[in-house]
Structure 1
Amino acid sequence: MLRRAADAQAALARHPRHLLLAALAAGLLAGPSSAVALAAATALVLVTVRETPLVFGTLAALLAGAAVGDARLAALDRSELAPGDVTARVTLLEHPRTRSFNTRVAAAQLRGERVLVKAPARVAWPRVVAPGIIVAIEGRLAALGPHDAHERRRGAHALLVATTIRATGARRGGLLGALDRVRDRSERALAGGLPAPQGALARGMVLGQDSALTDDVREDFRVTGLAHLVAASGANVMLLAALVLAAGAALGLGLSARLWLAIALIAAYVPLAGGGPSIQRAAVMGIAGIVAALAGRPSSRWYALLLAAAVTLAWNPRAAGDAGWQLSFAAVLAMLALVPGLRTRLAATRAPPALADALAVTAAATIGTAPLIALHFERLSLVSLPANLLAAPAVAPVMWLGTIAGALGQIAPALAAPVAALAALPLGYLTWLADAAAAPAFAEVVVPSPGAAGVLAIYAATAAALLAWRRLPRTARRATSGVLALGALGAVAALAAGHGPGHPPKDLTISFLDVGQGDATLIQHGDAAVLVDTGPPGGPVLERLRRAGVRRLDMLVATHDAADHDGATAAVLATMPVGLVLDGEEVTAGGEVRRLAAAHSVRRIASDAGQVIRAGPLQLRVLWPRREPAAPADAEPNDRATVLHVRDGDFDLLLTADAESNVLAGLHLPVVEALKVSHHGSDDPGLPGLLERLRPQVAAIEVGAHNSYGHPTPSTLAALQRAVPVVRRTDRDGTVRITVRDGRMHVSGEEGGG
């Protein structure tokens, strides 16, 4: 142990630049966020660094980083914008993005400050909207909401909710304006020579702009671990530098001129590709390596990585909170640590060098980013490794052909079209690959979030195990490698064999549970969970809740006295803690829900129109029934069923229970993203009119297979198919889930309903 400590101290003394840069980055990271972390870093320096000059230098770098970080945050947070009505010209900083199918948002600059423009569906945008376009907006400035933490990390100061957006015909000038025009010509060059789907993918891969991708393609790339291809990153910078150096050599330029040209183009590429944390990191590392070559010194990838961390954190100390920043650095760290050993072992198997390199890099990046992906997205792709390996041969041709087409497009689009057309084949292959790899049910699995402390523990344990493994004798290494390989295969097999999620989702998730002929709708967001109805007696609701990771319900809603809606209420109350019961049974009914709530000491309130109940980020508003005047003893329970409007941020859901148009037509109904169809899809002549008012993008029918009622009826299905883009039913699709992530809905089903 003492020898290892001495070796570590000697290594620090041999690389003082690395240590000073690491201390600077640590100060930038810890200082603005935690005095405790800064104190811990100081203590670590005092314990691990022995040479007195190096101790003082390291402490100075650490404190300087903290001071710069604090000053930078103060500058970033300085704002003169005040809440209230505003009419102003703003400069768009990005292409508008769609949220929840009815709201579009875009970062913009207002009076020199970054804001997030948000426009509801009823607000029309100008025909041409792109970075650098100046538009006139009337609206209201407000504070950023809880769903806009990502924008706050990017430096946004306020939310601008637009009521009108008008074109001005103006664009920003200066260097950024010139880059805007370069980007526009590049986009037209890529779009002009390719079919629309391939053109959209080319824009994502070459320029980091995925706004034109369809939801299906975007989801396929995410599920298969290929999403990094449409977010400008290190691969883009590496391939750009390789192309520039090769083209410069072909033109007869000297090495120094080629290197300076590569530096200039990499620096210009950062804003062209959106300027995200990942591309910033890659650009700094790339330029550092080229500068080392210009100086005639050997480059150090570890030094370049530390320099990239220091530069990106000095520019924005909050960048470390961005998932893209974390994933980018984790991938590079893993590649620096693991690729040399993996490449050597693969070469020993006589694998072709290109295959060994691709497999080593892909495996290292996959291993390095897995804990962070679990933390941020609570999902892991089981097909990421083979998908990335199969995608590798097509990436460089797309990037090089797209870059050449973009360059020719600065001269004339006609010159660019033939070059862009050559990229159609690799682009089509990548689209097919993502679709095919995402198709298996096991392609992606839900995993529990390890939490920030858990991620740090995983990385620390992995580093310790790697160091210990490297000190083993060669024969012991081989045996250990076999055991680890078998363990990894067993873990992947176990995840693939698992069916359905077993942990609460991080994102807003609405699950229309497959419980047979009955209703049960689960709404989850983080730790908040609400169950609306429980399905029939003896139904599978408890198993469905277990698979959804529910261990406690904030609220249980019994919409009305009907066995196919409240039949399993007793089982739910007896099995798990419930914070509140919202009881839709009439006083004239048997009062079974009232009795059960009292027996389990659960607070109960009767549903009544106008009530608003919150559970975490979820807001539930009762639209019906009104308890005054009291219903007659012979009132139809379906007509008195509790109708709920559920809202979470920009997402709206209407849960109608068994109340049909004779009830709903008289209510004040919101425009919604999703609808639970009334009464299992029974015949309802007023449904077309309701759909015209509600305008849902998704409709779910909770119904049992081969039921004796004929649900859902042909007339209801016809009305839904005419008015609603996505219609799902639990008898055919199993449990239907809507996941709202990054402002978009993703609808999935568990096959085998019934």
Structure 2
Amino acid sequence: MNQRILDLRLLPAAVSAWLGALFLPALPLEWEPIVSFLALAAAAGLLMAVYRRHLAGVGLILALAVAAFGGVGLSVSQVVREVSADPLARAWQGDVSKVRVLARVEAPPRKYAPGSEQQITQLQLLEARLPHTPQVKTRLKVVAFGQHLKAYPRGTVLETSLKLGKPHRAAGINSNINDFTSANMIFQIPTQIMATPKIRTGPRGLAALKQKFAARLEEKLIAVKSPAAATLLPAMILGIRADASPDTEALKTAGIVHITCVSGMHISVLLSLVALLTAGLERRWRLVACGSLLIGYCLLLGPAPSLLRAAVMGMVSILALARGREPRSFSALQVAAIGLLIFNPAFGQDAGFLLSVSATAAIVLVAKPLEERLQEKLKCLERKGSGRVPRIVSEKYRALGGKFLVAFLTVSAVSLVAQLACLPGQLLIRPGINTLTVLANVAIAPVVTLLIWGGAFLTFLPLPGTLLAKILGAGCSWVMLVARGVAGNRFAVLPWAQGIPGILALGAVAAGVMFILRCYFPKMEIGGNVKAWSQSR
């Protein structure tokens, strides 16, 4: 099959789901069920019209888009109902500013900013004791800030006191939760840790297993005394990100911090390792092994947006292969975006999810066809120049040199395309444009696969691994050397405005560049082949 054929039938539904996750939580609470019902009713009407052949195939595409919008609305309404029924949420609408709680750690504490003592962690509240009231059960999830917190592993149950900040209310609104202007005011609960947490119970189940793997990896890395490996490997393999520090800031400035966020790249490398280890098995058992890795890895690491996106895409591709069909990466991306936004509408406002989807879409749509075109061009040049260029080296080394050149150009193209696609999302987070990202990614590309493969062996296998740990430590040191070298360059970041003004300015620059290209290169056809220059050289 032709891999360049794109199935865009689900694209309107993916865009509709994202718009719903972005704007529906900002609507008044009483509008949420009404908008959801109207959207689903309209989708049912469109499906009926398609069934009775009153509409063409475009009616089905429109019905899926409207249904995705309604599904996101239903998910938002369900979360609002759960929060509205929570005893702590009802009390929090009053004048409660401090409450004693039992909470389970969802994300370990880490520094909020370099050079600051403020730490941030995600907590799932279990029980709460309000002043002068009995203890109540609760299921609220909060993002808590504190100082001098220990490295509590995910799954640890803590006892502490929290100060729940009050949401912004309009004048004259009473304490009824249904009178708040939007769902965003309920979802965004500012919380401050007021007392030193006490550990009630440690991690259990998969959280305890992850802590066991983390302790094993830490023990092996301590033996080789590699600070770079201690920073990178736990994040690359187990999703345990380090505190904000000069090293993490250097990774961000160099544009290679994505290697510390478990996402599609890490999943692809691990799947290639599984495929290599199961090369002698039947196809169905190899697919079962890859599917088991995806499911087990997600359960072990937790529901990170980028990891879930990559896992859903992988499962869709595995199911397609199991049915004897060729997997389509862009179709899998659309399915993942729709499903995850309906499952958790908060992903629509999550910067990590937005960057992950943008980078993946750009790589699938642009980088892969560009890689194929580069290979074709190199073969064409080799055929044309075989009679004129003297063969200084043997055919074997010429082939290796061609493969190296293709790999170099592919990594450069993927890095450039992903960076351009992520620029709007990055400007929402921080000002400035990284200018040396492609150079940094090309420099670390040879060791990334080695770090992920070796880190997996070092973490999940009960081996001594001293020699392997030293090799991985050298690889991590190279990554950090590249990051510090690029970050130390004064041209590493181009000053640029942050937020909407910066995005608008970026759009204006992109439009100007496209206009200049169309004016001075009229023979260039977007989506087609570039016409060759004159033969009379």
State whether structure 2 residue 58 is matched by structure 1 residue 60: no
TM-superposed deviation, 1:238: 0.3
Distance 1:188 1:267, change over 3 A: farther
Judged with a 3 Å threshold, the aligned counterparts in structure 2 of structure 1 residues 416 and 272 are, in CA distance, closer, same or farther, namely farther
Asked whether 1:162 is paired with 2:193, we answer yes
Equivalent position to 1:298, from 322, 326, 334:
326
TM-score (norm 1): 0.53
Contact 1:190 1:405 in 2 (8 A): no
In structure 2, the residue matched to 1:255 is: 283
Equivalent of 1:244, from 264, 270, 274? 274
Instruction: Call closer, same or farther: CA 1:113–1:34 in 2, change over 3 Å.
Output: closer
- Amino acid paired to 1:168: I
Question: Which amino acid in 2 is paired with 1:134?
Answer: V
Q: Deviations over 1:674-698 (max 9, x none)?
A: xxxxxxxxxxxxxxxxxxxxxxxxx
What residue number does 2:103 align with?
90
Task: Label 1:51 to 1:407 Cα distance change in 2 as closer, same or farther (>3 A).
Answer: farther
Please name the residue that 1:398 is paired with. 451
Answer yes or no: is the 8 Å Cα contact 2:210–2:238 preserved in 1: no
| 2:19 maps to which of 30, 46, 55 | 30
The one-letter code matched in structure 1 to 2:16 is G
For 1:142, give the aligned amino acid.
G
8 Å CA contact 1:194–1:420 kept in 2: the answer is no
- Is 2:235 the partner of 1:235? no
Q: Report the Cα offset of residue 444 of structure 1.
A: 0.8
Q: Offset at 1:381?
A: 1.1
3-state secondary structure, aligned to 1:423: helix
Segments of 5+ residues of structure 1 without an aligned counterpart are: 1-10, 147-151, 480-754
Write the letter of the residue equivalent to 2:407.
Answer: A
**Does structure 2 conserve the Cα–Cα contact (< 8 Å) formed by 1:132 and 1:180?**
no
1:105 equivalent to 2:120? Answer: yes
* Residue-by-residue CA offset, 1:243-289 (whole Å, 9 max, x unaligned): 1111223xx43322222121121222235445322222111112222
Q: Residue 434 and residue 75 in structure 1: after superposition, are their counterparts in 2 closer, same or farther (change >3 A)?
A: same
One-letter code aligned to 2:15: A
Contact 1:76–1:155 at 8 Å: present in 2 too?
no
Alignment of 1:616-627 (within 5 A): none
Q: Contact between 1:375 and 1:449, CA under 8 Å: does it hold in 2?
A: yes
* Counterpart selection for 1:425 from 474, 492, 495: 474
Q: Output the amino acid matched with 2:425.
A: L
Structure 1 residues 407, 314: closer, same or farther in 2, change over 3 A? same
What is the Cα deviation at residue 433 of structure 1?
0.8
Counterpart check, 1:469 vs 2:519: no
Tell me the distance in 2 between the aligned counterparts of 1:419 and 1:153: 48
Q: Contact 1:136/1:166 (CA < 8 Å) preserved in 2?
A: yes
2:237 is matched with: 206
Taking the TM superposition and a 5 Å limit, the aligned residue runs for 1:226-375 are: 226-249=256-279, 252-344=280-372, 346-347=374-375, 348-349=377-378, 351=402, 352-375=405-428
SS at match of 2:102: strand
Q: Provide the TM-score with structure 2 as the length reference.
A: 0.72
Tell me how far apart the structure 2 counterparts of residues 227 and 471 of structure 1 sit (CA, whole Å): 32
Match of 2:141 in 1: 114
The whole-number CA distance in structure 2 between the counterparts of 1:108 and 1:331 is 29
Q: Secondary structure at the match of 1:415?
A: coil
TM-align CA RMSD? 3.9
Aligned to 2:156: 133
Query: Which residue among 484, 488, 504 is the counterpart of 1:454?
Result: 504
Matching residue within 160, 165, 186 for 1:142: 165
Distance in 1 between residues matched to 2:494 and 2:514, nearest whole Å: 25
2:253 equivalent to 1:223: yes
Could you list the per-position Cα deviations for residues 266-319 of structure 1 after superposition, in whole angstroms to 9, with x for gaps in the alignment? 222235445322222111112222222222210111111101111221122231
Letter in 2 for 1:305: L
Distance of 2:117 and 2:531 partners within structure 1 = 61
- Stretch deviating more after TM superposition (163-172 or 423-432): 163-172
Cα distance 1:109–1:241, how it changes in 2: closer, same or farther (>3 A)? same
How far apart are residue 341 of structure 1 and its match? 4.4
Structure 1 residues 197 and 33, CA, compared in 2 at 3 Å: closer, same or farther?
Answer: closer
Equivalents in 1 of 2:529, 2:145: separation in Å?
Answer: 61
Quote how far apart the aligned CAs of 1:394 are. Answer: 0.9
The answer to which structure has the higher strand fraction is 1
Q: Which has the higher Rg, Structure 1 or Structure 2?
A: 1
Distance 2:167 2:432 in 1: 28
Q: Structure 2: how far apart are the matches of 1:309 and 1:26?
A: 9
Unaligned runs of 5+ in 2: 28-34, 127-138, 170-182, 382-401
Distance 1:456 1:219 in 2: 23
Residues 260, 247 of structure 1: alpha-carbon distance in 2 compared, 3 angstrom cutoff: same
- Residue in structure 2 matched with residue 437 of structure 1 by the alignment: 486
Verify the 8 A CA contact 1:113 1:156 in the aligned structure 2: no
Q: 1:533-682 to 2 correspondence within 5 Å?
A: none
For the 8 Å contact 2:269–2:449, the answer to whether it is kept is: yes
Tell me the SS of whatever aligns to 1:104.
strand
Q: Distance in 2 between matches of 1:387 and 1:456?
A: 23
CA distance in 2, matches of 1:155, 1:284: 29
* Residue 80 of structure 2 corresponds to residue 71 of structure 1: no
Give the CA deviation at 1:357. Answer: 2.2
Q: For the residues of structure 2 that align with 1:256 and 1:205, how far apart are their CA atoms?
A: 29
CA distance in 2, matches of 1:372, 1:238: 23
Alpha carbons 1:208, 1:231 under 8 Å: kept = yes
3-state SS of 1:253 partner: coil
Q: Percent identity?
A: 23
Aligned partner of residue 198 in structure 2, secondary structure: strand
Measured in 2, the distance between the counterparts of 1:473 and 1:417 equals 52
Question: Does the 8 Å contact 1:190/1:203 carry over to 2?
Answer: no
Which amino acid counterpart does residue 14 of structure 2 have in structure 1?
A
How far 1:221 moved relative to its partner? Answer: 0.7
| Partner secondary structure for residue 107 of structure 2 | coil
Distance 1:321 1:164 in 2: 31
State the shift of 1:180 in Å. 4.9
In the alignment, the residues of structure 2 paired with residue 103 and residue 218 of structure 1 have an alpha-carbon distance, to the nearest angstrom, of 16
Cα distance in structure 1, aligned partners of 2:316 and 2:288:
12
Name the amino acid aligned to 2:485. Answer: A
In structure 2, distance between residues paired with 1:391 and 1:68: 42
Q: Distance in 2 between matches of 1:153 and 1:423?
A: 44
- 2:316 is paired with a residue whose SS is helix
What displacement does 1:217 show? Answer: 0.8
**Stretches (4+) displaced over 6 A:** 35-40, 152-155, 462-468
Aligned residue type for 2:106: L
| TM-superposed deviation, 1:144 | 6.5
Which one-letter code corresponds to 1:268 in the other structure? G
Q: Secondary structure at the match of 2:497?
A: coil
Q: Residues of 2 paired with 1:459 and 1:235: CA distance?
A: 30
State the secondary structure of the residue aligned to 2:490: coil
The residue number in structure 1 matching 2:387 is none
Question: 1:153, 1:253 → 2: CA distance?
Answer: 50
Change (3 A) 1:447 1:456: closer
Instruction: Tell me, yes or no, if the aligned pair for 2:207 and 2:300 is still in contact at 8 Å.
Output: no
Say if 1:346 and 1:189 are closer, same or farther in 2 by CA, change over 3 A.
Answer: same
Structure 2: distance between partners of 1:145 and 1:204: 36
Tell me, what secondary structure is at the counterpart of 2:152?
coil
